[in-house]
């Protein structure tokens, strides 16, 4: 049996494959996992596994990540592809899971022509919003029940994939009860948050090319426009609150306590960001995002179009 998985969330695909192996009671099979993008990947070793019998069990399970000829170019001979197909065809009781870190599968390769007729396809495989929220909520209730609902909502907004969910839960396992919720959010922050800062700066500095380059990198990761807009709103809200308070309070320690930010972060923002946006402009952008949020909720505008419209208004 052959299964082809495709989607940008590779960890979730592996999770689904492991579930399938468990549900089908295949855990006693000889298990072989290979990644076609590993530097030491050797197609001949895969062929040897295909041609050899298991020493202790009859059947095998192959989990083949990013395998050549499925979503990525086949760099080998046509004869080798034919040989692989013949060996797969001769092993109907073996399980083959081809897992791909891309939604775009090849059509003309010899392997894909064969799979088109002989495999089950699971396309755009990623965890739904409801399942993400339910899984995270269950984990939080079990391990960190003292956290507020407001914190949970902020956490939900930061997580849009199974990979991000796993990273967040691993980070949350390290949480000490003495940490504040703001410190916990800082603990689980990832490169996505750094990219939000980069996007925000590019927008405010009118760097059109850079802004859309970051935006397209988000699209490639299947990060939802709503999540990006939520993070941009948080950024503008932070600027508005900090720059407004800083006019009447110069003590960084007091600002830190009032805003739930580290002193180092406050010092950095006051020194590096104050010149690129004024509090009234930050408040204006917050208002624009609020209007777009309502339009999205009532179905008057698609989220992707809303975000692009907002970006173009700032850049113009």
Q: CA dist 144 to 128, 130, 135, 177, 228, Å? A: 23, 20, 14, 9, 26
Of 133, 187, 123, which Cα lies nearest the Cα of 162?
A: 133
Last residue of a domain, one of 122, 154, 182: 122
Task: Find out whether 62 and 32 touch, Cβ atoms under 8 Å.
Answer: yes
Task: Quote the pLDDT of residue 153.
Answer: 81
Please check whether residues 173 and 300 belong to one and the same domain: yes
Shared domain for 69 and 184, answered yes or no, is no
**In this structure, are 163 and 243 located in the same domain?**
yes
Q: How many CB atoms lie within 10 A of CB 134?
A: 12
**End position of a domain, from candidates 87, 122, 157:** 122
Q: In terms of domains, do 207 and 240 share one? A: yes
Do 179 and 295 sit in the same domain of this protein?
yes
Beta-carbon count within 10 A of 19 CB: 10
Q: Which of 122, 156, 171 finishes a domain? A: 122
Check whether residue 87 and residue 231 sit in a common domain. no
Give the total number of structural domains in the chain.
2
- Predicted confidence at residue 173, as pLDDT, reads 77
Q: Are residues 247 and 286 both part of a single domain?
A: yes
**Does 268 share its domain with 220?**
yes
Q: Which residue has the tokens 């395998």?
A: 67
Helix or strand (DSSP H, E) at 119: strand 119-122
Same domain, 117 and 144: no
Residue 285 confidence (pLDDT): 94
H/E run at residue 257: helix 252-259
Q: Both 116 and 155 in a single domain?
A: no
The CA-atom distances, in angstroms, between 244 and each of 118, 154, 208, 240, 290 are: 64, 23, 28, 6, 20
Do residues 157 and 269 share a domain?
A: yes
Residue pair 96/62 in contact (Cβ under 8 Å)? The answer is yes
The residues facing 34 across adjacent strands are 64
Place of tokens 């299947």: 222
Strand segments, DSSP code E, in the chain are 2-6, 30-35, 60-65, 95-100, 119-122
**What are residue 4's DSSP bridge partners?**
98, 121
Identify whether residues 23 and 136 lie together within a single domain.
no
Range of the domain at 98: 2-122
The CATH number of residue 103's host domain is: 3.40.50.300
In this structure, what CATH number is given to the domain that contains residue 209? 1.20.272.10
Low-confidence ranges of the chain (pLDDT < 70): 8, 53-58, 124-125, 174-178, 186-194, 262, 264
């Amino acid at each position: 049996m052959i299964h082809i998985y495709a989607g940008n969330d590779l960890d979730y695909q592996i999770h689904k494959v492991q579930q399938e192996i468990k549900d089908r009671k295949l855990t006693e099979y000889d298990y072989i996992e290979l990644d076609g993008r590993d530097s030491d990947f050797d197609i001949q070793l895969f062929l040897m596994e295909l041609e050899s019998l298991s020493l202790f069990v009859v059947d095998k399970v192959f989990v083949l990540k990013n395998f050549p000829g499925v979503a990525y170019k086949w760099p080998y001979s046509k004869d080798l592809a034919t040989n692989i197909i013949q060996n797969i065809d001769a092993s109907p009781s073996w399980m083959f899971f081809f897992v791909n870190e891309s939604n775009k599968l090849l059509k003309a390769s010899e392997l894909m022509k064969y799979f088109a007729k002989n495999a089950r396809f699971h396309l755009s495989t990623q965890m739904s919003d409801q399942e993400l929220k339910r899984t995270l909520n269950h984990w939080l209730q079990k391990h960190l029940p003292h956290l507020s609902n407001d914190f949970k909502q902020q956490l939900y907004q930061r997580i849009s994939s199974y990979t991000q969910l796993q990273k967040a839960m691993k980070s949350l396992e390290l949480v000490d009860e003495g940490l504040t919720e703001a410190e916990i959010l800082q603990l689980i922050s990832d490169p996505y948050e750094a990219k939000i800062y980069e996007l925000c700066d590019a927008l405010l500095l009118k760097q059109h090319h850079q802004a859309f380059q970051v935006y397209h990198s988000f699209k490639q990761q299947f990060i939802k426009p709503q999540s990006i807009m939520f993070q941009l709103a948080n950024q503008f809200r932070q600027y508005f609150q900090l720059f407004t308070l800083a006019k009447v309070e110069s003590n960084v320690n007091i600002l830190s306590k009032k805003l739930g930010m580290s002193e180092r972060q406050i010092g950095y923002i006051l020194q590096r960001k104050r010149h690129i946006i004024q509090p009234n402009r930050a408040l204006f952008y917050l208002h624009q995002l609020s209007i777009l949020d309502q339009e999205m909720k009532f179905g008057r505008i698609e989220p992707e179009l809303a975000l692009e419209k907002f970006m173009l208004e700032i850049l113009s």
